[in-house]
Structure 1
Amino acid sequence: MGIDYAAVFQALPGAVALLTPDLVFVDANIAFLRQAGRRHEQVVGRYLFDAFPDNPADPAASGARNLEQSLRNVLANREIDTMALQRYDVESTAHPGRWEERYWSPVNAPVFAPDGHIALLIHRVEEVTEILRATSQPDGAHQLEAELFSRIRQLHQVNERLRRAHTREREVALALQRAMLPVPGPVDHHRIAVRYRPALGSLNVCGDWYDLAKLHEGDKIAVAVGDVVGHGLEAAGIMGQLRSALSATSRVATGPAQALEVLGRYAHSLDGAESTTVVTAFVDWDHHLITYSSAGHPPPVLLRGDGTTTLLDQATDPPLDAAPTPSPRTQAVTAFTAGDVLLLYTDGLIERRGQDIDIGLSRLMASLVRHRTAPDPESLADAVMTELLPAEGASDDTALVVVLL
C-alpha cells in the first residue's frame, strides 16, 4: 500500500521542521510545535528568526546566530551538521515579554531535489531543558547528573568565549588581508576589476591573493592570482610574503616563467608555502600578446569579442615547492584583440565538493559568454560571482581578476 508520508512526518516522535534555503518554515510536525509552545500558523510561512528570535534583553544570547551558521554550513557544504548543546531562550506564549531559559540539541540536514540542488533543510531539535533541570538537584542518585549539568553549562560558556575569540581572530585576519592586497583600481590606464570573497564560516580567510603590477617595458602589466594551502593568520602571513615576492620579481623577470622559477626558490625556504598554486600573465598591449605561466593553478580564460572562450592551459607546471629541487618552468603566448577580456581566478570560483573540475570550468566559460555584453569589467565580475557562487556563501575563498584588453 502507499505510504502517507505527511502523516508519518506528523507522527514522528522527534521534533522536526522543514525550512526553505531562505530559512522560511515550510512545515513543522506536532512534536516540534508542542515542544516550541507554538501553533501551526505561528510558525509555518514565517522566517525562522522572526518566529524564534534571540532574547533581546540578553546581549550575550547566541542561539540564533549559532543556528543560522549551522544552517548556512549545511547549504554550503551539502552535509549534515550536528550542533553542540545550545542555550536558546524562547518567549513565553502565556506571558509575552517573559523569556524562558531553554536548552536544545539540534541537527540540521539537506534535502536534495532530483537535479541536485538543496530544496529543503531538515531542522531536528531535541529539548533537554527539563532533563538538565531534573538532574541539577544534588540529592542521592542525582548527584552525578547534577555534576554533569554543571559541566555542560560550563562547556556552553567556554564555547561562547571561544566563538567570540574566533570572531576577533577572523576580523584581524580580514584586516590583514585587506592591508596586504592591492587596492582595487586601474593599473596605468587599463580597466581592471578585482573581487575577493572569504569562505563561509570559521576563519577561512587569507589563503587566496591577487596582484597587479605595472611593468617597466612599454605598455605592459603583470597580473597574478594564487592560493596558499590552508587558512587563517598563518596562511595570511605566507600569502603576504609570496605576493610581495612575486610582485617584485615580475618587475625584473624576463617573463612569467622566470618569475615563477624565482618564486619557487623562495617558497622552498618558506615554511607553509609548499604546494601553493599561482598563475601569472604578462599582458603586452604594444604587441597584443599575453604570456602566461602556471604553477598548478586553474587556467585563465580569454573571452574574445566574438563570444568564444579559450582556456590558457598550455603552460602548466607543478605547484610551488612541489618537487625536491627547483626546475625550469614553461610559458606560452597567445594573441588578443582590443575588447577581449582576460579572467584569472582561484579554485573557489569553480570547484564544488563531489563535482569534477571540468564541470566548474564549463560553467565559468558559459557564464562569461552569457554576460559578454557587460558594459565594463566591474559589471562582468559581479555577474560571474553572483552566478557561480552560492548565495549562502562558498566553502572556499575566491579571488577574481577581470582585465579588459
Structure 2
Amino acid sequence: MSAFPIDYAAVFQALPGGVLLLTPQLVIADANEALLWRAGRERHELIGRPLFDVFPDNPDDPDASGMRNLRASLERVVATGVRDSMALQRYDVEAPGRPGTFEERYWSPVNTPVLDADGRVRLIVHRVEEVTEIVRAGAGDHPVDRVRMEAELYTRAQDLQEVNERLRLAQVREREVVLALQEAMLPAPVPVGHHRAAVRYRPAVGALNVCGDWYDLADLPGDRMAVAVGDVVGHGLAAACVMGQLRSALSAAARVADGPARALEVLGIYARSVDGAESTTAVQAVIDWSTHTLSYSSAGHPPPALLHPDGTVELLDGATDPPLGARPEHVDRPEAQVAFADDAVLVLYTDGLIERRLEDIDVGLARLAEALTRHRGADAETLADALLADLLPPGGATDDAALVIIRL
C-alpha cells in the first residue's frame, strides 16, 4: 500500500489520454476529462448509455469498420480476460451540435479488463489516443496521397484483424489438444482394490489458461492405497507435457518407495532433469485400512482435508515442505501420520478449487471446510459434484482444479 493517500477518482480524471470505463455489456460507466474533450461530449451524454449508441459508425460511409472492429476487440476482452491492443483505426465521430455530420478521426485504442476476485471481467478500461493530426500530416496535401494513406491504414487494420482471428483459432486448437492430452494421461476413475474414489478435473476458462494439474491413484500391497495430486507452474501444452512426466514418475515412485515422503524425494530428484518442472507442488498420501492410519507428505501443496464422521474437518498440514526443486541440495522431506475412523472422507485438491485473486488462502480453506461439513452425508461422487458447484465461480475459474475424494 502507498504511504500517501491517493484520490484515484481525481487521478482518473487527470489522465492525459482519453479513457472510458465500460461494463461487460459495453455500457459507459465513466469517462475522464481527456476523453470528453476529444469527443466533444458532456458527461451526461455518455454515462449509462451503450457505447455504440453514443459513438456509431458514419451511416454515409459504406466502408466504415471502426465500430465493428472495436466491438470485436471488446468482446474478446470480455471472453478471455486478456488485454487487446488494436491497430490504428479510422472511426469518424459525430460533430458536436451537428447531428448527422461526421468528422474524420483516427484513434489508437487499447482495451484492458478489470477482473474481480474470481477472475471475471467486471469493467473494461478503453483507452484511446487520437492521432488524427499525425495521420493527416503524414498523408500530405495531395488527394492521391490522402487516398493512399487511408488505403494503407485500412489494409493494416484488416491484416491485423486476420492475424488476431488466426491467433484466436490457434489458441482454441491448442486448448483442445491440451485437454485431450490431459484426458489421456489422467487415470480413469476405476476402483482401486475394493475402494472407490471420485475424481474430477475442471480446466480453467480461457484459451491459454489450461494448466498442468493432475491426480493419481495407486493400489499398494496389503489393504493400502496411494493417492496424490499435483500442480505444474505454467499453462498450455508445455505444462501439460510436464504434468504427464511428473505424474508417471510419482505413480511409479509411490509403488516402491517407503512412504509418501520418500516418493516425493524421488520425484524431486527427477524433476531437476525436466524443463519446466521447477516449483511444481504435489501432495502424496498413503491410506492403510488395516491400521486405520493415513501417512502424508506435501511439497508446497495446499493441505489435504480429512472430514471426520462428526462433521469436523482436519487440515493435514503437519508435513509441509517447499515445492519441487526449491532447494539447491537434497533434504529429507517430512512425513506425518493421522488416524481415521470408518466413514471419514479424505479430500485432495489443487489450488484452483480454493484460491481466489486478492483473497487470503485461509478464506478459501474455510470455505472448503464449511462445504465439506454441510455435505458430509453424501457419497463420494455426490460430494465431488457438490464441492465443485459450491467452490468454483459460476463463470469458471482462471486456474485449473483437480479433486480426489475417498470415503474411508
**Pair 1:284-2:304 in alignment:** no
Write the letter of the residue equivalent to 2:52: F
**Pair 1:316-2:320 in alignment:** yes
Find 1:220's aligned residue among 216, 220, 224: 224
Find 1:144's aligned residue among 149, 152, 155: 149
Aligned identity (percent) is: 54
Distance 2:145 2:28 in 1: 44
Distance 2:326 2:203 in 1: 26
**Pair 1:29-2:49 in alignment:** yes
In structure 1, the partner of 2:38 is none
Distance 1:401 1:162 in 2: 35
In structure 2, the partner of 1:404 is 407
In structure 1, the partner of 2:32 is none
Distance 2:118 2:203 in 1: 24
Write the letter of the residue equivalent to 2:276: G
Is the Cα contact below 8 Å between 1:193 and 1:402 reproduced in 2? yes
Deviation of 1:385 (Å): 1.1
TM-score, with length taken from structure 2: 0.73
Please give the per-residue CA displacement for 1:69-123, whole angstroms capped at 9, x wherever unaligned.
522445xxxxx84564699xxxxxxxxxxxxxxx9968475597xx999896569
Deviation of 1:65 (Å): 8.1
Find 1:390's aligned residue among 389, 393, 396: 393
Distance 1:62 1:383 in 2: 41
Deviation of 1:288 (Å): 0.8
Give the secondary structure class of the aligned counterpart of 1:342. strand
In structure 2, the partner of 1:196 is 201
Distance 1:265 1:242 in 2: 11
Distance 1:119 1:276 in 2: 28
Is the Cα contact below 8 Å between 2:119 and 2:357 reproduced in 1? no
Give the secondary structure class of the aligned counterpart of 2:399. coil
Deviation of 1:160 (Å): 0.9
Deviation of 1:163 (Å): 1.4
Distance 1:311 1:302 in 2: 6
Residues 221, 68 of structure 1: alpha-carbon distance in 2 compared, 3 angstrom cutoff: farther
Superposition pairs of residues 181-330 of structure 1, within 5 angstroms: 181-216=186-221, 218-330=222-334
Deviation of 1:142 (Å): 4.4
Q: Aligned-pair RMSD on alpha carbons?
A: 3.7
Residues 111, 315 of structure 1: alpha-carbon distance in 2 compared, 3 angstrom cutoff: closer
TM-score, with length taken from structure 1: 0.73
**Which of these two proteins has the greater Rg computed from alpha carbons?**
2
Residues 35, 365 of structure 1: alpha-carbon distance in 2 compared, 3 angstrom cutoff: same
Is the Cα contact below 8 Å between 1:177 and 1:206 reproduced in 2? no
Deviation of 1:276 (Å): 0.8
Deviation of 1:192 (Å): 1.1
Q: Which runs of 5+ in 1 are unaligned?
A: 1-12, 38-60, 75-79, 88-102, 129-133
Residues 391, 72 of structure 1: alpha-carbon distance in 2 compared, 3 angstrom cutoff: farther
Residues 221, 63 of structure 1: alpha-carbon distance in 2 compared, 3 angstrom cutoff: farther
Find 2:340's aligned residue among 330, 336, 343: 336
Superposition pairs of residues 42-53 of structure 1, within 5 angstroms: none
Distance 2:166 2:372 in 1: 44
Distance 2:109 2:252 in 1: 53
Residues 145, 332 of structure 1: alpha-carbon distance in 2 compared, 3 angstrom cutoff: same
Deviation of 1:321 (Å): 1.4
In structure 1, the partner of 2:13 is none
Distance 1:399 1:106 in 2: 35
Is the Cα contact below 8 Å between 2:73 and 2:84 reproduced in 1? no
Is the Cα contact below 8 Å between 1:69 and 1:201 reproduced in 2? no
Distance 1:166 1:273 in 2: 23
